[in-house]
Chain A
Amino acid sequence: MVPSLDPWSRRRFLQVAGLAGAGTALAACASEPESPGEQADAQAQEPSPTFTDPSTQLSGTLKILMWSHFVPSHDEWFDKFVTDWGNEVGVDVQVDHIDVANVPSRIASQIQAGQGHDLMQYIATLSQFEPSVLDMTDVNEEASNRHGTQLAMCTESSFNPHTNKFYAFAPGWVPDPGNYQRGLWEPVGFPDGPTTWDELREGGAEIMASENIPVGLGMSQEIDSNMAGHALLWSYGASIQDENEKVVLNSPETIAAVEFMTGLFNDAMTDEIFAWNAASNNEGLIAGELSYILNSISAYRSTQDTNPQLANDTFFTPALQGPETGLAAQHVMYNYVIPEHAENPDAAKEFLLHFTDNFELVTYHSRLYDFPSWPSLAPNLGDWLTTDPFGSEPADKLSFLGDVETATEWSVSIGHPGPSSPAIGEVLGTYLIPNMFAAAARGQASPEEAVRSTHAEIERIFGRWRQRGLIGGG
């Protein structure tokens, strides 16, 4: 006799429970309501793509390496956009999106190996790779012929005046405003958020004391900390180099900026900022655990999706005013390079021109995150910022950015007031500026000592690149 199977044996129960769980999860995903950020305003007109025939007959494969965009909808659009272009011109295009932190090491390894992608993109200067990449003067000239004059800070981030070479092509950039929670700043007397560094410290300290919610400016080895540190330096009238690429960090202005940051840390921040990565300030804002951060609008766009109420309470400020001025670094500066080992440089250059021609689509699909380097490429940007097609409440929340040229009034390239040279690239890559602020804030060194030792290290870096003939000054 064959024993009958118990319909609710342990094995059967686990199978049914597992299937039910998986089904519930799938149903939940399928029925997840659209977030406000995904409900693009029906009024908004998605720009139409344009196409210009390539100047030469193209063929073969084009391999592109780029970051995974902070606004994921961009990558979905981009992959289709580039495939469509490839089909049109007869090129098989392969795109690899990787985590932003891994892009420089991937580029370095491919250049050392002499093989890999034909076109590589990063969100900060790639000047350190100048000796091994093609001159992009022809692409830059053609783009300027088509679209007018490029923004100066984008040129400074892709052109080496010392060698007279466009080592990169910079079709777009991203502003770096402050993000703050109005519900926290209103009670302390700043409903429109801080407008100066002193107000940031005053209001931030009050919020910290009353709500135990800190300000979130990183002093860590990551890109946002680099940008925050540079913004503070410039606003105090300090900088790493002058316009002639001479190192001028060790100055009373820098020491004053470091003293300010130490005070801000003591009054309004916690030790968490010393261990941050590039996503940490986003996470803090989205969790409602930071009163103010410096971070484009990507954190806000994520908050729209995850916590609409908090998103509605999130507002923005342009660069904070310091004793000297009010400047911020570009949050992102897109740098495309074509390595010498590229097998299809013609296709890479033609794609860059096509991509630039359609930059308004880039702006649209990045939910107004990406700004073009040629102001003429965003004729609708001003309208979009005034009436956000991606669900901001109130709809004019982003109008402070004005348009491309308004945002550039308080944005500068990372090498400001000089070019973003390979030496500046190495200073960024080794995080000397956030480390300088951190050393003083943690009490490891006095502000004077921190500035002096950082200046000496930067002098060594500049000296080495001068020996290689890639920067001026001295």
Chain B
Amino acid sequence: MAEAAIDESPRTARAIARTRLADRDGFLAWIFLVPTVVYVIALVAVPFFLAIAFAFSDVTSGDPSYDWAGLTNFRRVFNDAVFWQSLQNTFVFTIVSMLLIVVLGKVLANILVADFRGKWIVRFLALLPWTTPVALSTVTWLWLLHSIYSPIDWVLRNLGLIGDNVYWLGRPTTAMISIIAVHVWRLVPLAAVIIMVGILSIPNDINEAARIDGAGFWRRMFEITIPLTSPLIAVSALFGAIFTFTDIAVVQVLTGGKPGNSTHVLASWSYIRGIGGGDIGQGAVIALFLFPLLLAAAVLILRAVRRMETI
């Protein structure tokens, strides 16, 4: 008996200790948070502060040694017309894409929640652009818009709408339209899914009551559906804006900033300056200009989420 008691006491003590540890909310919270914190520090905070450090240095792609350069890189970037063009393009692409993404996302969401034969295949096809890797889908678009082989041009030519090829990517206006079109094509499914969740969460009673009261489709749309899903529409708009604002893949693969430097955005111009030209300092300065808008977008998303919680 005595031996058993001696054997059990350390085991019991360990079990009690384990139980106490597992019951401590503060301890568990930190354990669960650690992976996220490490991730954010390693992949967000470190690169961000590194970019700030590089912005004030003369680091090049061939010479990583750090020398203080003060505001020289900022002055050079501000004197560069392509930087201002890239900044303008970034806003144009983002705003136009965001508007189209929200409108088309709402339309697609309405289609996806409707009952019809073959709904699952339509849902599958509608989501494909979002699930396809962006580089792969953009390469496909590159061929669709090819100066010689473009099937789009072929169709337009055979319909008698154009004579010669359009050279979509060879002219600034059509190149910008092409970039926006690919962004919209890629992000509309994401917006549609987000908005669809909002539509499905509206109780049927409300729509039924409105219908009985004689409200038509448009009236229900503008007085019930849109107001009740507006927080989610805001979230989808902000996601669309962030994805467009920070994207480099579509511009880099589709135009590489061409023709001239007319379609560069901040991310692609930062890459050309920092890696292509080897001037990491200037590349970092350009990339830092992404930060203020992304910060604002993040704040707005958090507010929208808070609004959803209070609804």
In the complex, A40 has a CB within 8 A of chain B: no
Contact of B62 with A422 in the complex, beta carbons under 8 Å: yes
A-B contact count (CB 8 A): 111
Chain B residues 53-91 with CB under 8 Å of chain A are 58, 60-65, 76
Instruction: Assign chain B's interface to a size class.
Output: 20 to 34
| Complexed CA–CA distance, A111 and B256 (Å) | 24
| Complexed CA–CA distance, A351 and B209 (Å) | 81
Chain A residues 378-400 with CB under 8 Å of chain B are none
| Complexed CA–CA distance, A439 and B172 (Å) | 12
Pick from B76, B149, B258, B273: contact of A221, CB below 8 A.
Answer: B258
Chain B nearest CB: distance from A277 CB in Å? 7
Chain A nearest CB: distance from B240 CB in Å? 26
Residues of chain B contacted by A114 (CB below 8 angstroms):
64
Task: Output the residue of A130, A271, A283, A429 with the most chain B CB within 10 A.
Answer: A271
Contact of A108 with B275 in the complex, beta carbons under 8 Å: yes
In the complex, A307 has a CB within 8 A of chain B: no
Task: Output the residue of A283, A426, A438 with the most chain B CB within 10 A.
Answer: A426
Pick from A104, A128, A222, A442: contact of B260, CB below 8 A.
Answer: A442
| CB within 8 Å for A128 and B147 given contacts A221-B257, A430-B272 | no
In the complex, A273 has a CB within 8 A of chain B: yes
In the complex, B175 has a CB within 8 A of chain A: yes
Contact of A108 with B61 in the complex, beta carbons under 8 Å: yes
Contact digits for A210-225, partner B, Cβ 8 Å, 1 yes 0 no: 0010000000111000
In the complex, B109 has a CB within 8 A of chain A: no
| Complexed CA–CA distance, A229 and B119 (Å) | 55
Contact of A132 with B259 in the complex, beta carbons under 8 Å: no
| Complexed CA–CA distance, A277 and B169 (Å) | 11
In the complex, B270 has a CB within 8 A of chain A: no
Residues of chain A contacted by B273 (CB below 8 angstroms):
430
Chain A residues 274-312 with CB under 8 Å of chain B are 274-277, 280, 283-284, 287, 289
| Complexed CA–CA distance, A289 and B279 (Å) | 38
| Complexed CA–CA distance, A19 and B286 (Å) | 53
Contact of A275 with B258 in the complex, beta carbons under 8 Å: yes
In the complex, A97 has a CB within 8 A of chain B: no
In the complex, A444 has a CB within 8 A of chain B: yes
Contact of B260 with A439 in the complex, beta carbons under 8 Å: yes
| Complexed CA–CA distance, A283 and B149 (Å) | 10
| Complexed CA–CA distance, A270 and B275 (Å) | 30
| Complexed CA–CA distance, A425 and B260 (Å) | 19
Residues of chain B contacted by A276 (CB below 8 angstroms):
258
Chain A nearest CB: distance from B224 CB in Å? 43
Residues of chain B contacted by A130 (CB below 8 angstroms):
62
Q: Which residues of A contact B (CB under 8 A)?
A: 104-105, 107-108, 111-112, 114, 128-133, 212, 220-222, 270-277, 280, 283-284, 287, 289, 422, 425-426, 429-431, 435, 438-439, 442, 444, 460-461, 464, 468
Given contacts A108-B275, A221-B261, 10 further A-B contacts (CB under 8 A): A128-B60, A128-B61, A132-B63, A221-B256, A270-B165, A283-B149, A425-B278, A426-B279, A435-B260, A444-B260
Q: Which residues of B contact A (CB under 8 A)?
A: 58, 60-65, 76, 147-149, 164-165, 167, 169-171, 175, 255-261, 271-273, 275-280
